[in-house]
Structure formats: structure tokens, C-alpha cells
Chain A
Amino acid sequence: MKKSNILLGLAGSLILISLVAWGYQIYNGLIVTNMRNSFSWGLYIATFAFFVGVAAGGLIVSSTVYLFNIEKLKPFTRIASLSAFASILGAGAMILPDMGRVDRIWNIFVYPNFRSPLVWDVMVISAYLLITFLSVYVQILPDRKKEGSRFLNGWTKAHSQEEVEAFSKKWSKRIALVGLPVAILIHTVTALIFATQASRGWWNTAVLPPDFVSVAVASGTALVLVISLLAVGKEQFDQHKGAFQIMALIVAGSLVVHFFFVSVDLIIHGWWGSREAEEILSLIFGHYGYLYATELLLPAFTMVLFFTEKGKRSYRALMIGSVLLFIGVFAHRLMLMFPAFNAIPLSLSIPGAGIESWAYPVALGQLQEGMPVFVSSWAYMPTLVEYGVTLLPFGLVLFVVTAALKMYNFLPQKPFM
């Protein structure tokens, strides 16, 4: 009980810090970030993509239960749905501070342009938010009736406890099955925001959407795994070993698929040997080599660890592997931005001068003493304000998960089904 209060306090302060930073940003404009015209998306969009990714876990885990009849995972469907709801809420919240005119956000709904992948994303993410909320709601319904909770629960008064439990069981399954394609869609569509843009060679590949799905299955399941491990604790670890092993296997298996996509992508980028591709490859292996190594090596380590007998049977190994995976996936999301924006699309060849690729300089959008106005690359590093604002989804996820675990029974020791 005390531990959860500390966590709630921590979540509250994260949210508070982020709101103050966001307020400061609204007052001054996005000039307080380190984004500029040549590097127009940064930490916010990367974090958004990260949270969309980890939101997958919920419905992947619950639908695995129903589609493949894996009983062992059943006790964790509540936690899975909760993690999905919290994550997608965090993703949605993260997008708001990136809007320069968040006060006009309603324009997306009043004048939607249905050719824009961003509008598709708003639709599928809203749908997912609703589905995951309903999924949590129907699963905790019987418990809430038992304890006589009335909020959003009034209609169950006329029904018996057995009827409500039957309802909960039936609709949990239905929602999980409807939710699965939507879970796949949020990653596909989020990836399409990037993949549709032929101006950015690093994004413009059909492998991006399936790769997003594979990374999402891995990182989303890892989040469910971490929350479940924390919820049951070391004492009851052995009791649910089977479930954790299955989750570890899902993580490792989807990482295999991810690395397959990464390899194919790199071969396609590299083989033809165009100047644009060479520039991107030199950016990812050269200038951003450390970040790219983080993106590749940490998840690779987790993959191997989760395949080993020792790895998937140990509480600590599962925890460490998942955390390393999160860091790797976050690096993956950051690496969506760096090579894409530092390869200027308008590059020209001047054969007479022996120059194959020359980037046409872009105006930064800011005049500052001692700094050029026109650049052909921008060493983007988030500012303190950006880090502050980015705490918002972390605070929200922590708050929602902790509060829900505190208020309702999400723990598997009292299975309701």
C-alpha cells in the first residue's frame, strides 16, 4: 500500500514537471526545443512512436489466450489490457505538445484530410484507446459489482453476480478478438506516417510497417511481462513460471522477425549503391553509430537471453532483458529521426565538378549570433525543456497502472474466469 503511494507521488510529480515544461513551451513557442526547419521532428515524435509500440502488448497477450487457447496466460489478460490502455493514453498525450498550435487540434476533426496518414493514425489510436478501455472495464466488472462500486456500473444492479460474470467473460473475448486487428493497425498506420514519404529514403520502405509490428509485439509483450513480474513479485514467480516463459518466447520470437526485417532493409538500402543510400548508411554506421549499436545490440542480447533456458526461468534475467529491450527500442525510435532528417532530400550532383551529392542548404528558422542560418545538417540534441515535456507519457503510464493496480484486483492470484 505504501509502495503504491510513493509511485503515485512520483507519477504525479513527473506529470507536474512535464506540464510546467509544456506551459513554458506554449508561452515561448517551439523555439525552446532544439528542433529547427531542417530537423523538424525530434524526441516527442520518437517517444510517441515508442509508446505506440509498447501499447501492443495488451491485446496481443489477451488475444493469444483466446486464439491459441493458452490457458497459462489467462491470469494476465487484465494486466495486459491495462498496460495497453495506459501506453496508448501516453502515446496520445505525447503527440499534443509536438503540435505548435495545440489550441487548434479540433481542426483535425472538423476538416480532416483523409489522404493524410496522420488522420488515419488519429482514427486507429482513438479506436484502440476505446477498445483497451472497454477491455479493462469488462474484465474488472464482476469485481466491481462484488464490492458495490457504482461509477459506470449502475446498469449491473439489475443483474445477478453470475450474469455479470458471464457477460464479462463473453465480452472480454469479443473485445480481445476485435482489438487484435486494431492493435496491428496502430503500428502499421504509425509506420505509414513515415513510410509513405518518398522524400526521406530512410523511411520510404514497405518493410517499415511490418517491422513496426514486430518491434511492437516484442516491446509490448515485454511491458506486460515487467508489470506482471512486479505485480506477482518474486514470491509467486514460480507459480506463474509457465506464463512468463510464454511471454519471453513471444518477445524473443518477434525479435527474430524484427532482425530479419532489419537485415533485408539494410541490404536493400546498401546493394544498389546510390548516393542517397550511401549517405544514410554512413549516417547510421558512422555519425550515429553508437545509437544504432544500442538499437541493434541490446535487443539482440535480450533475444538470445530469452531463448536460453536460464534466461526465461529467472526473475532477474526476464527483468533485465526487458529493460534492455526498452532502451534498445527507444534508440530505434530515435534512429527514425536522425538519419532521416540529416540526409537533406534536395541533394544534387554536379558531374562537371566531380561532386556526386551536394545538399541544398535549408534555412533553420532562427537567426542567432555566431550560428549559420542555412545548414545542410543539424546536430539535434533535445533541450532540457524537451526532456521535461517528454516525462508526460511516462508519468501518465505510471499513474494509470499504479492507480488501477491499487484500486482494483488485477492480480492473478484470484482468477475470475
Chain B
Amino acid sequence: MRLGMVIDLDRCIGCRSCAVACKSHNAQPPGTWWNRVFTPGASFHQAAVGKDGALQMEYLPVSCQMCDNPACQKVCPSGATYTDERGVVLIDYERCIGCRYCIAACPYGVRQYNWEDPKKAKARAGYEKGYEYGYPADFRDKDGRLVYTPNRPVGVVEKCTFCVQYTSGGEQPACVKGCPGKVRIFGDLDDPSSEVSKLVRKRQTVRLKEELGTSPKVFYLAATKLIR
């Protein structure tokens, strides 16, 4: 099994629902975002870019690209970052020593560090005391490695897990469910009959920074209908 995602840029309306669903389901502390949506070329989101009066506005959601050749995993000195049997790149929050080599290595800027205790960060940001959000329980992989916990330990790196707490039970990731435009399609790239496989086979796909040889398992269907 090789889990992957196809993102159809023709359908994306830049609403950032995926980022919000991701953030709240995965209990990301203030200032931490596993999933971002921006308007390429613009200095702020939802602003048109262009020249000679011809404006355009595209959106590009970016989260962990789930590389088949993940630089982050190769640099990790303690094996905290690993690829599970479903092809998902995960971080063991109990193994990570916080050296941040993976953050330097990742070309996509998706890795996020817990610069302080998430509980302190929430209090500092003014969140109501006792307010907790996100999937409430710890999640461990079949080997007992802690790959999700609502309040991450201080000093460890975190990032998108393809919602391991949901997808390991056969459910869809939060960003896929939360998308109003059905932009994101999630499935097994090894299964030729899956929708992701069909799309990758039949449509023209783009992968980010492909020239670096990271072999991402997130594929983008390029926008064909320009919003002008």
C-alpha cells in the first residue's frame, strides 16, 4: 500500500477550509500550520497577480508531500521520522531529539517545531483556559510508536500525518473531508483501480520540486481553467 493524494487545482477556491480542518483536528498549537493555502505570486492570499492588465489568481495548497525519497527521514539521526507500511512519513514524538535537521532538509517548509510547550503557547495566545481542540486521544502505530498526541511534547518536530488517527481505520483525512470543492482525492497509489491511481495515470500531473528527486506522493492536477 502506498497512500497518496491528488489535488485538483481547477477545483480549489482558496477558502483554506482544509487548513482549518487540519489545524483543529490535529490540535496544532498557535502559529503552527501543517497545511497552508496561498496564492502563488501574491504578497497576500486571495490577491490577483499579473502584468499588462491581465490578472490571474490561482491557489496552491501545500502540506507534507509524503516523499518516497524523504530527505527528512534520511537526515533524522535517531530514526524518529520513518515511513510506515502504508507509505506514510511519520514522526515518533517520543523518539525525536529536536535537532531540527529535518526542517533544514525539507524543501517544502512543512515541518513545524514545538518551540515551546503547546499548552503555554495556547495560554499565551489567549485561548480560553481548559479549551482543548482536536482528536482527543493518543494514537500509536502497530509498534507502539506515538505518532499523534493532542498536546505535543515541547522540543519535537511535527507535520501532516495524512491524519494517521483516522486513515489507519480506513477513514479519510480531515482536509479531504473538510474540502467543500472536492479538491482532494486520497487513496492507494498501488491499487490500479483507486481513483488516485486513475487520475495519476490519465491526467497530466505536477509534483512540487520534482527536480530534487524527492518523489512526492502528492500530485497536483494543474489548473487548466485560469481564473482571470
Contact = CB atoms under 8 A, between A and B. Distances in A.
Interface of A: 28-31, 33, 35-38, 40-41, 98-102, 104-105, 107-108, 110-113, 115-119, 122, 193, 196-200, 340-341, 344-346, 348, 350, 352-355, 358, 360-368, 373-374
B105 A197 contact: yes
A99 B50 contact: no
B115 A353 contact: no
B27 interface: no
Contacts of A345: 106-109, 209
Given A101-B153, A107-B78, A199-B71, A365 B109 contact: no
Chain B contact residues, majority secondary structure: loop
Contacts of B125: 367
B109 A360 contact: yes
A323 to B, nearest CB: 31
Interface in B38-83: 38, 40-41, 49-51, 54, 56, 58, 60, 62, 71, 74-80
A367 B114 contact: no
Contacts of A355: 40-41, 49
Contacts of B96: 100-101, 104
B76 A28 contact: no
A346 B155 contact: no
A104 B136 CA distance: 25
Given A100-B154, A100-B155, A37 B109 contact: yes
B210 to A, nearest CB: 12
A199 B121 contact: no
B77 A108 contact: yes
Interface string B86-125: 0000000001111111011111110111111100110011
A205 B124 CA distance: 42
Given A119-B77, A353-B41, A363-B109, 7 more contacts: A29-B114, A100-B97, A100-B113, A345-B209, A346-B107, A360-B109, A368-B31
Given A112-B77, A115-B74, A346-B107, A40 B31 contact: no
A360 B60 contact: yes
B114 to A, nearest CB: 7
B33 A363 contact: yes
A346 B74 contact: no
A366 B79 contact: no
A201 to B, nearest CB: 10
Chain A contact residues, majority secondary structure: loop
Nearest to A347: B209
Nearest to A104: B97
A368 B125 CA distance: 7
B153 A365 contact: no
Given A353-B50, A367-B121, A373-B33, A99 B99 contact: yes
Contact of B113 (A30, A107, A350): A30
A114 to B, nearest CB: 10
A112 B41 CA distance: 41
Contact of A122 (B77, B103, B120, B153): B77
Residue of A101, A111, A373 ringed by the most chain B CB atoms within 10 A: A101
Interface of B: 30-33, 36, 38, 40-41, 49-51, 54, 56, 58, 60, 62, 71, 74-80, 95-101, 103-109, 111-117, 120-121, 124-125, 153-156, 208-209, 212-213, 226
11 contacts: A29-B117, A100-B96, A102-B97, A107-B95, A112-B78, A118-B99, A198-B212, A199-B105, A341-B104, A350-B58, A353-B56
A116 to B, nearest CB: 5
Nearest to B105: A197
A101 B40 CA distance: 36
A180 B114 CA distance: 40
A3 to B, nearest CB: 39
Contacts of A99: 97-99, 155
A1 B219 CA distance: 70
Given A113-B79, A374-B36, A29 B97 contact: no
Contact of A365 (B79, B80, B115): B115
Nearest to A109: B78
A200 B33 contact: no
A363 B117 CA distance: 17
Contact of B95 (A104, A200, A363): A104
A197 B105 CA distance: 6
The 10 A-B pairs of least Cβ separation, nearest first, read A100-B98, A100-B155, A367-B30, A29-B116, A199-B107, A107-B78, A362-B109, A31-B116, A367-B31, A353-B49
A373 B97 contact: no
B59 to A, nearest CB: 12
A350 B40 contact: yes
B77 to A, nearest CB: 4
Contacts of A107: 77-80, 95, 97
Contacts of B80: 107
Given A352-B56, A355-B41, A98 B77 contact: no
A361 B36 contact: yes
A366 B115 contact: yes
Nearest to B75: A116
Given A101-B153, A199-B106, A37 B77 contact: no
